Amino acid sequence: MGPGVLGQLLDMAPDASDEHQDCIRCHAPLAEQAASLAEAIVKTRTGSAQPLPHEQGLTCAACHVRGHERFGPPRRDRSAPGPDVAGLPHGGWKASSAFEDSRFCAACHQFREGEFALNGKLLENTYEEWKSSRYAREGKSCQSCHMPERRHLWRGVHDESMMKSAVAINAAAPVRAGNSVEASLSIRNTGTGHHFPTYVTPKVIVEIYQATANGKILPDTLQVHVIARLVELDLSREIADTRLAPDEEAVLRYRRPVHRRAGFLVYRVRVAPDAFYKEFFESSLASAQPVRGKPMIRSALERARRSPFTIFEEQRPLRRAGDSG
């Protein structure tokens, strides 16, 4: 479990199990983990050599064990263990096709009807976004993209190659119009089976700016379009929702006077996977709360600050009016 979750849990009352469940039903859902969390809050037991059950977060058993019995998908040839399981590890397993169904993921990636919503939209709505997309109609499950060949990868917004495969990006060459330059940068959701991005926590920053011949950004030449579902830190309000539904496109149209020191026009798309968390951790460290969780929140903040990366960058030469050649 990440330090950002643990840091918040440690400052809850040990017997506030409903409050714990609000988080651990997704982050550490086993009964044994609920017990070890409550114990850790009382005893201030953390950071032992062997991670405690709740510290292990989403373990194999969370998805594969119910009532001390093992479950899993049928074998790839569609067979399953028969009654004679002698010789199979842990006495075989019960096969269930539920593992191959997108509803399997909805348990933790979709709020239920009536749960927390802003501006009429549930805070987590990934399964419904997928269900109303062409991917559902084409039979492309969550697993087909996030667990290819049944590999437990779960790559998403933190992964550079996944983010590159999510969208098609196109930079239109600069065109001079008098003293100004015009250009555009388009980004289309071509490979994401739900909104791009699906959560309120990341931001995708689409930008065009002028740079000097040595690549230095020139002030006042930057134009930006942010793709995100922006919400207030206290979740009181949705500020904007510019996410891209499957196959939807956003275009940043650039028009600015050409700077006298301009050498290049730069087109860039950056991803800040933890933009919301970064601000949230900063504000919680600035307040009196949390107390015990503070060192963990601090390390979660460090992680959130390090997570941004660039998925697209191109530059085109820019000449000032009157330049020859």
Q: Which residues bind ligand HEC (CB under 6 A)?
A: 2, 4-5, 8, 22-23, 25-27, 29, 58, 60, 62-64, 72-73, 75-76, 99-100, 102, 104-105, 107-109, 124, 126-127, 130, 135, 140, 142-147, 150, 152, 154, 156-158, 162-163, 165-166, 191-194, 196-199, 201-202, 277, 300
The CB-of-291 to ligand HEC minimum distance in angstroms stands at 16
CA angle 162, 167, 172 (to 5 degrees): 135
The CB-of-122 to ligand HEC minimum distance in angstroms stands at 10
The CB-of-34 to ligand HEC minimum distance in angstroms stands at 13
The CB-of-250 to ligand HEC minimum distance in angstroms stands at 13
The CB-of-158 to ligand HEC minimum distance in angstroms stands at 4
**CB nearer ligand HEC, residue 129 or residue 207:** 129
The CB-of-80 to ligand HEC minimum distance in angstroms stands at 11
What's the burial of 293, exposed, middle or buried (CB within 10 Å: 0-12/13-18/19+)? buried
Structure tokens at 246: 């499957």
d(CA 186, CA 250): 6
**CB nearer ligand HEC, residue 73 or residue 263:** 73
**CB nearer ligand HEC, residue 108 or residue 230:** 108
Neighbours of 121 (CB within 10 A): 16
Block residue for tokens 């983010």: 163
**CB nearer ligand HEC, residue 1 or residue 266:** 1
Amino acid (1-letter code) at residue 305: R
Block residue for tokens 């250009």: 183
d(CA 284, CA 180): 44
Structure tokens at 34: 């609920």
Residue 304: partners with Cβ closer than 8 Å, 6 or more residues away: 4, 274, 277, 278, 281
**CB nearer ligand HEC, residue 162 or residue 258:** 162
**CB nearer ligand HEC, residue 29 or residue 174:** 29
